Structure 1
Amino acid sequence: MSLQEGEQIALNEMPRHTPYDGSTKPFTIALKTLDPTDWIELDADLETYLAEKDRLYATLPDKVFVEEPDTHPAQREVLDMLAPYLVERFPETYRRNGTGIEIVGTSRHVETSQPSLSPLRAASLLVPEDLILMRRSDDGWRLAAGSLCFPSSWSLGEKFGRSLQDIHEPVPAFGRGTRTADLIQRIFDNLAVEQPVQRFNWSLQAGNDLYLPFSHAQRIDRATNRPSKFSDDELAAQAFMRIERQTLRKLPNSRDILFTIRIYLDPLTVLSRHPDRASIAASFASQLAALDEAQLDYKGLTADRDRLVAVLGKIAASS
């Protein structure tokens, strides 16, 4: 679903993150340590993201929020960590007001002492990130609760209650029994409370929709038919780079893991204004060109890869 009529993502002059620049390789874990001070990222789009969450909660509540009944203490732990962090880290945006948090310059007030909503859902109304709670069980780490308003081609309902290895089954070389899946399991098991981590993903989409769910059946159909994402109009004008900034943080009391996902949407054309456009666009084109068939199918880029590489080549040559 698209943003409400009249709403737009505020376009930054330059992309905030460029994981396609050769600094990391696609379809690798590429975890980096994260300074806890930088846990959450804000920009001018906060209200747009929160308004879209409001719309999705009102129209598709069962598709964007799930929870196991016994996760409320851990959800509460997330809210109790997040609220004071935001007030201290972003005092120009968040302010304590009575028993909750006020978002300055808006009519938004999120109750944090005794929220009428599930605590994780209340926490999600404070930040642009999606919030996923992972819990250890005999079968590994499973998705026990989550607010997912901005999925990048996956379905919260299909992943709810499933193990980490099963969640990653559609991802080339990440599914159950692979070396990467075993490594991810160990990373989750050994994650230290005091040391959160982060990683990035990228994809390309037509238009600036934030809510991009995809069922397993749709993914199989897309991989079989390999349709183009873009119309016959100019591809560069339609293409948006979708960046996922993911963080992992182990909760000190429950020992559950909070997985946050922050989506950034940048038009592909913004690269033409980047001072390092030649090297960045060339690296991006090289990464696209190097993707194998399974990887292209997973990203939904099989039909469009060559055209996208050509556009990036023109940007690289324009310096």
Structure 2
Amino acid sequence: MILQAQIPYDLSQMKPLPGIAPLDPADWLQVDDAFAPQMEERARLLREVRETVLGIEPEAMPAAQELLEVVLAHLPGGYTRDGEQVTRPDGVVVTLDRGDPMGTLGVLVQEDLCLLQKRGDEHVLTGAVLCFPAGWRLADKISRPLSIIHVPIPEYDDNIGRRVQRLFDGVQQGRPLMRVNRLFHDDPLLHQPVPRRSNNDRAAPETAPYLRSERQCLLRLPETRAVVFSIHTYVVRRGPETL
């Protein structure tokens, strides 16, 4: 069981979708108290079920390689770099492999990372390393547009869909955005790729023993113009004071 001691932001006032706020680029990537066990789990998943947690279209490789360079430029405190090797805050050394940028990113930072690129009127998921999904499978979403990716989410109606697409269109380089969500779970497992059977197939908020929250960020890559959707996952045991 991998849990954080707490969620480092206030979930008491949840904003309606899309619930976006500006983000300081220096605060994009995070290191928390579950870093070492989460990273160990990411490495295991990439080793044992790589095809489940990593997917990329050949056309997305330039964006993935650019994303690796952008992440390297934004590594938070606790990382050190010596040429083509990066030492993580837990002491593990990662050798950079630009031929496998998403795989490298998967063992380099705590965030799951998705690449979305504009095709026609919509952004399409063209690549991702997604070790900690909450009720969705990467294989079901890769190469699909936003309008399909978010089905079935009851709150995600046509109006929200149009607003989210405008949001992706409007993300500006150097001005990332952030939102958070709140999910009630009976199981603290981080890797939960099995989709819900229906929109009612959710843990009861009143009795669920665990609270899961995703810190989701959007930023624009300067060269390929792809949009990066990053997900930092927190799971805590609920106490009397936990929403």
- TM-score normalised to structure 1 length: 0.71
More displaced 10-residue stretch of structure 1: 191-200 or 43-52: 43-52
Corresponding residue SS for 2:182: strand
Shift of 1:105: 4.6
Corresponding residue SS for 1:123: helix
- 2:123 paired with 1:141: yes
Contact kept, 8 Å, 1:193 with 1:250, in 2: the verdict is: yes
**Correspondence list, 1:75-90, <5 A:** 75-86=64-75, 89-90=76-77
Match of 1:240 in 2: 210
**Correspondence list, 1:1-319, <5 A:** 8-12=1-5, 14-19=6-11, 21-25=12-16, 28-86=17-75, 89-90=76-77, 93-111=78-96, 115=97, 117-175=99-157, 178-215=158-195, 218-220=196-198, 223=200, 229=203, 239-269=209-239, 272=240, 277=241, 284=243
Corresponding letter in the other structure for 1:125: V
Write the deviation string for residues 208-254 of structure 1: whole angstroms up to 9, x where unpaired.
Answer: 20001123xx523x74xx5x858xxxx96x61100010000010000
Rg comparison, structure with higher value: 1
Corresponding letter in the other structure for 1:57: L
Instruction: Name the structure where helix makes up a greater proportion of residues.
Output: 1
Contact kept, 8 Å, 1:110 with 1:126, in 2: the verdict is: no
**CA distance in structure 1 between the partners assigned to 2:191 and 2:161 by the alignment:** 27
Contact kept, 8 Å, 2:54 with 2:102, in 1: the verdict is: no
What number of residue pairs does the alignment pair up?
242
Shift of 1:162: 0.6
**CA distance in structure 1 between the partners assigned to 2:164 and 2:223 by the alignment:** 22
Contact kept, 8 Å, 2:181 with 2:215, in 1: the verdict is: yes
**CA distance in structure 1 between the partners assigned to 2:130 and 2:89 by the alignment:** 24
**CA distance in structure 2 between the partners assigned to 1:146 and 1:183 by the alignment:** 23
Shift of 1:116: 5.9
Contact kept, 8 Å, 1:17 with 1:243, in 2: the verdict is: no
Shift of 1:80: 0.6
Shift of 1:60: 1.1
- TM-score normalised to structure 2 length: 0.91
Corresponding residue SS for 1:219: coil
RMSD: 2.1
Corresponding residue SS for 2:95: strand
Asked which structure has the greater RCO (Cα within 8 Å, sep 6+), the reply is 2
Contact kept, 8 Å, 1:203 with 1:242, in 2: the verdict is: yes
**CA distance in structure 1 between the partners assigned to 2:203 and 2:169 by the alignment:** 38
Write the deviation string for residues 128-175 of structure 1: whole angstroms up to 9, x where unpaired.
Answer: 110000010014101000000000111110011110011112112424
Unaligned runs of 5+ in 1: 1-7, 285-319
Contact kept, 8 Å, 1:134 with 1:258, in 2: the verdict is: yes
Unaligned runs of 5+ in 2: none
Write the deviation string for residues 250-303 of structure 1: whole angstroms up to 9, x where unpaired.
Answer: 10000000000011001111xx3xxxx4xxx6xx4xxxxxxxxxxxxxxxxxxx
